Amino acid sequence: MSNDTLFAEALTHFPGGVSSPVRAFRAVGGTPKFFRKASGAWFEDEDGQRFLDLCMSWGPLILGHAHPDILAAVTESMNEGLTFGAPSRRELALARKIKAMVPFIEKMRFVSSGTEAVMSALRAARGFTGRDRILKFDGCYHGHSDGLLVKAGSGLVTFGAPTSAGVPKGIAELTSVVTLDDLDTLERTFAEIGNELAAAIIEPIPANNGLLLQRPEFLKRLRELCTKHGVILIFDEVISGFRVGPGGAAERLGITPDLATYGKIIGGGMPVGLYGGRKDIMGVVAPDGPVYQAGTLSGNPVAMAAGLATMEKLTPAFYAELDAKAAMWAATFETIPGLHCPRYGSLLWPLFQNGVRRSDAVKGEAISSFNRLHRALLEQGVYLPPSGYEVAFLSGAHGEAELAHFRRAVAAVAPAFA
């Protein structure tokens, strides 16, 4: 069946015809693509059209689609059983690998998604500190749990307000929100409520509302203020973890959080999340402590196998090659008139605006231009994330042939933006 036929049926089953709103094409226009198979850096839709993928399932596929070693590991694991609901040796193997790459993780817990990892980390922080309030940053996304779908209130350090229907006001009010790249407000916030905060959570490389790269001094001061006030610092590395280097953003920035959350890459394309860090904080998690958290499919052996097969290939040499490759892709993006492409490792943000560090600084016309670009490149066989507020991802499968295809596509659309 065609994409249009499938989407017409999908509208009868799912809100907006999709199982996640980021898959909808409402921002960029047109009908979402239904994909039937993928390999390397390419996938094919139900109409038989082939696309160069710059979304890569929103980040997990750092080795590319259907990598043979991952498929082999998954097949071996599936032949032994899909799920046990009990411990397995594969959990231990992946845990050992993660600890070797991120030494500050003393204890961890596997879950099934990034949202679940963040929700659980915050609960552990509250249980450890005995405090209820949390601090987040406008422009950072941490999943869709109630306490994090919050925007800033009307005053400097007021109660938060829900950004989604269905979030109780009382829960939102336990979250305070500070704007990124605003050191003065950060200082005043901790002066006012620092001793009431259980945790401060931030994407150290904010990549869910564009690539809002922060000044190192802002992140370092956040670490200092958390230590001073006894606040648990949580790095949300669901995107940046094992994407920007072996130790993620924490290693590259030289800042150690108390807890961190991960997802995407550690599952190798299967649903996995993880939270972990200091063993004294993790010691409050059941069955060792009073903070309850559980999951039927946590530590699923098939997902553990896919994650380990991925992680074993993430060497310093792999990251160095991917970083050099990403620089060429960013430079190609910037041959489009008016387009800038901030980059951190293999994360790229094609934006018709420069120097953006805060979500409220993104101009509407920049997003409108991206929407035009999305449609134009799609016609050239290049698939970008269907939102100007999302970043593009590269993988080890994006080689010379893929770059040549991308350069031809960019050359074809660039005159329309002159």
CA distance 231 to 46: 50
Determine which one of 236, 262, 344, 383 is catalytic: 236
Determine which one of 141, 262, 344, 389 is catalytic: 141
The separation between CA 245 and the C-alpha centre of its own chain, rounded to angstroms, equals 14
- My answer on whether omega of the bond before 287 falls inside 30° of 0, hence cis, is yes
Burial of 119 (0-12, 13-18, 19+ CB in 10 A): buried
Q: Is 141 a catalytic residue?
A: yes
Query: Pairing between strand 273-277 and 161-162?
Result: unpaired
Q: Is 236 a catalytic residue?
A: yes
Determine which one of 33, 136, 264, 325 is catalytic: 264
Helices (H), 81-182: 89-101, 114-129, 169-172
Q: Is 288 a catalytic residue?
A: no
- My answer on whether omega of the bond before 301 falls inside 30° of 0, hence cis, is no
Length of the chain in terms of residues written? 418
What is residue 153's DSSP assignment? -
Residue given tokens 């979402």 in the structure block = 32
What CA–CA distances, in Å, run from 341 to 106, 192, 288, 354? Answer: 36, 38, 46, 8
Catalytic residues: 141, 236, 264
